[in-house]
Structure 1
Amino acid sequence: MTSDSSNTSPTLSVGDQDAELEQRLSDELDSFNIAATGVGDRGSFSIKVTDEAGELVGGLAAWTWGGLCGIDMVWVRADSRQDGWGSRILLAAEAEARRRGCDRIAVSSFTFQAPGFYQRHGYVETGRTRGIPGGNEDVHMFKSLAV
């Protein structure tokens, strides 16, 4: 008996995080987005702060595409949160976004995290997603980087 691939049913599987799958999905979505928009300048960057012992003080992970920078994650170690590292990291991210040609930046922060921090840095709330555990919300914010 011969196998006819047109009669083969796809298989759905659920499992733990799959780095190879995530890379493939990212590549496929990038291709789709480039075809749909003609914009193909997607990139990513990170900012890292370490102390004298080489231990992580804080950092940021972000992406850029089509003049927009999206901040995925920002974290500062509890004992360093009053030392201005959050502001220095955020300002460095904004400078890097501008260097990469971005004129706007977006971020979201749960209400129990730091939406006020971003708002003090000129970010404007654009919406909220309800249903975060503990009765919290995800606050979506935006800032123009145009000079």
Structure 2
Amino acid sequence: MMEITSGTTEDGQWIREQLIAYNRQHVPATLFTETESYCFLAWDEDEQLLGGVTASYVWNHLQVHFLWVDPENRIGGTGKQLMAKIESIAEEKSCSKILLDTFSFQAPGFYEKLGFEEYGRLPDHPAEGQTQYFFVKHL
């Protein structure tokens, strides 16, 4: 009979390493570069934080993790400029695409206006009546 127990952080790292070793057998070696993390902040002339974005580079694409813009500045172009910075990094790295996800109560239309295409959705997530959207922008 099988027993399932809690693992440690080290166990989790070992599992990750095993999957990476497996993936290396199936994915071109050129895609196995160090993951690079990015964080950009937008400030106004009064040194007030307007917003920020985080992303990482892995397997020849940029993955946007978080984009936040102060609610009082959401029509001032801050989000668009932050995403333009992400796209410039993607172009510098010769990425093939940018990936991200967002929720129906956030800004799926914003990303569509920036040229992102929906490739999936998860209804009733994170709560009933809400949807999680998955977007890609091919470069």
Structure 2 length normalisation: TM-score?
0.79
Counterpart of 2:123 (choices 130, 133, 136) is: 130
2: distance between equivalents of 1:85 and 1:140?
A: 22
Larger gyration radius, structure 1 or structure 2: 1
Q: What letter is aligned with 1:56? A: L
Shift of 1:101: 1.9
Superposition pairs for residues 1-147 of structure 1, below 5 Å? 11-12=5-6, 24=13, 28=17, 31-32=20-21, 35-36=24-25, 37=27, 38=29, 39-41=31-33, 42-132=35-125, 133-145=127-139
RMSD of Structure 2 on Structure 1 (CA): 2.8
Segment of structure 1 superposing worse, 66-75 or 110-119: 66-75
* Paired residue total: 131
Identical columns (%): 25
Shift of 1:31: 3.9
Contact 1:123 1:142 in 2 (8 A): yes
* Offset from partner CA, 1:109-137 (integer Å, 9 cap, x none): 10110000000011111010122214111
Segment of structure 1 superposing worse, 48-57 or 117-126: 48-57
Unaligned segments of structure 1, at least 5 residues: 1-8, 15-19
2: distance between equivalents of 1:102 and 1:80?
A: 30
2: distance between equivalents of 1:29 and 1:113?
A: 36
Shift of 1:11: 4.4
Shift of 1:51: 3.3
Segment of structure 1 superposing worse, 119-128 or 45-54: 45-54
